[in-house]
Structure 1
Amino acid sequence: MVTKSLLLSLAIAASASASESFVNVYFGNGCFFHQQHSIVTKFEKLLLQRSASDITAVSAYAGGDSSPNDLCYHNKDGVGDYGKLGHAEVVEFSVPNDRLKDAAKVFFEDFTQLTPGQWTRQDVFDLGPEYRALVGIPGGISGHYFEAIEEANVAVHNLDLREGLGGDDDTIDTGVVWIMDSEDFPVYQAEVCLQFSDDNPAFSEPYSEKYHSLNGILVEEGLLKNTTCPTNYIC
């Protein structure tokens, strides 16, 4: 006979196993509007076949000094300005451990070749450290997740992966990607009004209404929460 305590133990073990099979990571390379759309459409929907309510990609800020408060987009009062605190625009999402290499391939394939062996981001109009290329994984360059990132990189463009120390320089035209330890450099969700937005019209047509509707869905699911940030220059 299976006792209640045994069933509880099995349930706890199953829950622990399930939580260990996914890892939260973040990618950044230029404006997070483009990066979020790329991760949602090319990885979460296309490769993982996730439904709208299962989407996890959230625009955020990461890679700078830790903060006890919300980080904010540029605003007239300068409140919590992510750029001034050394952060970059990123997108955090949940990845099955055995699909991390696939996710990283989507990221690396987004770079554009300038000359043989020289790569840059597609977003060439947004300049500065806020738009640098970075990957955030638990343990960073010394952790076991780095192997999947490195393998994907070699398979695509073989860019220059370097350990990020926080507040790092812009990477445009250099082929450098900063590898961050997401435990030391956590993410801070960007404002709700900046989620699932259209990219720069110089790079793409407006995204679909179905894509824009993910904003409300993720708010309803509790994955997106309102911040204390003041009105910014975009919203």
Structure 2
Amino acid sequence: MRIVFAAIYVILAAFYAEESEAWSPASRRSWLNHVMRQGAAVIATTTATTTPTVLLNPSVASAVEENNALELVYFGVGCFWHIQHEFAVAERDLLKRNKSQLTCKTGYAGGKQVGEEGKVCYHNFLQVADYGRMGHGEVVGLELPSDQIVKFAEVYFSLFDPNTKDRVDPMDRGGEYRSLMGLPGGTSHPLYPDIVQVAQSAGFTLKPGKGSDPDTLRQQLVYVYDTKEFPFYQAEVYHQFHNDFQSKPYGKEYNAIADLALEDGRIKPTGCPDRV
């Protein structure tokens, strides 16, 4: 559904530029510039030659180290804009990470296919490596200490509507918006039994994902993927630290984290068309 309204979202974004006290840097992102460039970008968009980086490295995340090393995981439930904001807040509050230390990135995962040169891209008029057509869902990837994964699973299940047990944006339909999580080893992860308890306490069932799985709307179901078999692919830069248009705008300071993360290398150009 968002492919239909994406242009409207970009235009509306120009009007959501109010300050936020949660994040400290002044914004350098210009949404008005994006709006003015939108028409030209759709026509003239070209793809970069850089092969997209699979930022969540399954080989690094395959074991829980005794020294509580970081593990690379992902979570998805509906539109990833809102989910990224909530996990950014969780990283700040639970892990005391500042804006330069946040690891949360929007991305795609859970599909059986990738495009040429390993691309996985948002819906685009050029029809390049469309994530939905290849069976991927929208997710947010994070690097977490192993002893915090269960806590972040609790945060994840708190993001569902408490009354319906569904995502908060049910008008978005299809496998792209299914509920899913990725763990090193999937259901074989050492902490998986604890995550099952968290899920059951919240009223959800976990099921091993087979790849390119269907929507989970009204099923209280979450697919679990092995990050080695189903790695995380970072979304385009313009999808990072984005307002979600369901909540109060997150503010220019939050939006500006995308520029900072691009400058310091935490997020990278993907080689995908850079606009819808």
Does TM, normalized by the shorter one, top 0.5? yes
What does 1:169-188 align with in structure 2 at a 5 Å threshold?
169-188=214-233
- Letter paired with 1:163: P
Cα deviation, residue 144, structure 1: 1.5
Aligned partner of residue 228 in structure 2, secondary structure:
coil
Question: Is there any run of 5+ residues in structure 2 with no aligned partner, and where?
Answer: 1-63
Provide the C-alpha distance between the structure 2 equivalents of 1:56 and 1:95, rounded to a whole number of angstroms: 8
Question: Is there any run of 5+ residues in structure 1 with no aligned partner, and where?
Answer: 1-15
Provide the C-alpha distance between the structure 1 equivalents of 2:113 and 2:147, rounded to a whole number of angstroms: 30
Cα deviation, residue 145, structure 1: 3.3
% identical aligned pairs: 38
Provide the C-alpha distance between the structure 1 equivalents of 2:174 and 2:108, rounded to a whole number of angstroms: 14
Task: Give the corresponding residue for 1:5.
Answer: none
Task: Give the corresponding residue for 1:220.
Answer: 263
Deviations 1:135-164 (A, max 9, x none): 100111122131332232234x13011110
Aligned pair 1:120/2:163, yes or no?
no
Match of 1:100 among 130, 143, 149: 149
Provide the C-alpha distance between the structure 2 equivalents of 1:230 and 1:72, rounded to a whole number of angstroms: 8
CA separation of 1:148/1:217 partners in 2, compared to 1, >3 Å: closer, same or farther? Answer: farther
Match of 1:204 among 228, 247, 253: 247
Match of 1:78 among 127, 130, 148: 127
Aligned pair 1:147/2:147, yes or no?
no
- Letter paired with 2:273: P
Aligned pair 1:167/2:212, yes or no?
yes
Provide the C-alpha distance between the structure 2 equivalents of 1:146 and 1:161, rounded to a whole number of angstroms: 10
- Structure with the higher fraction of residues in strand conformation: 1
Deviations 1:74-108 (A, max 9, x none): 01111010000000000000111111111000000
Equivalent pair of 1:66/1:185 in contact (CA under 8 Å): no
Provide the C-alpha distance between the structure 2 equivalents of 1:223 and 1:107, rounded to a whole number of angstroms: 22
Where do 4+ consecutive residues of structure 1 move more than 3 Å? 16-20
CA separation of 1:32/1:19 partners in 2, compared to 1, >3 Å: closer, same or farther? Answer: farther
CA separation of 1:219/1:19 partners in 2, compared to 1, >3 Å: closer, same or farther? Answer: farther
Provide the C-alpha distance between the structure 2 equivalents of 1:190 and 1:159, rounded to a whole number of angstroms: 27
- Letter paired with 1:92: G
Aligned partner of residue 144 in structure 2, secondary structure:
strand
TM-score (norm 1): 0.85
Task: Give the corresponding residue for 2:88.
Answer: 40
Provide the C-alpha distance between the structure 2 equivalents of 1:18 and 1:218, rounded to a whole number of angstroms: 29
Provide the C-alpha distance between the structure 2 equivalents of 1:19 and 1:193, rounded to a whole number of angstroms: 35
Q: Which has the higher contact order (CA 8 A, sep 6+)?
A: 2
CA separation of 1:231/1:17 partners in 2, compared to 1, >3 Å: closer, same or farther? Answer: closer
- Letter paired with 1:83: G
Aligned partner of residue 39 in structure 1, secondary structure:
helix
- Letter paired with 2:221: V
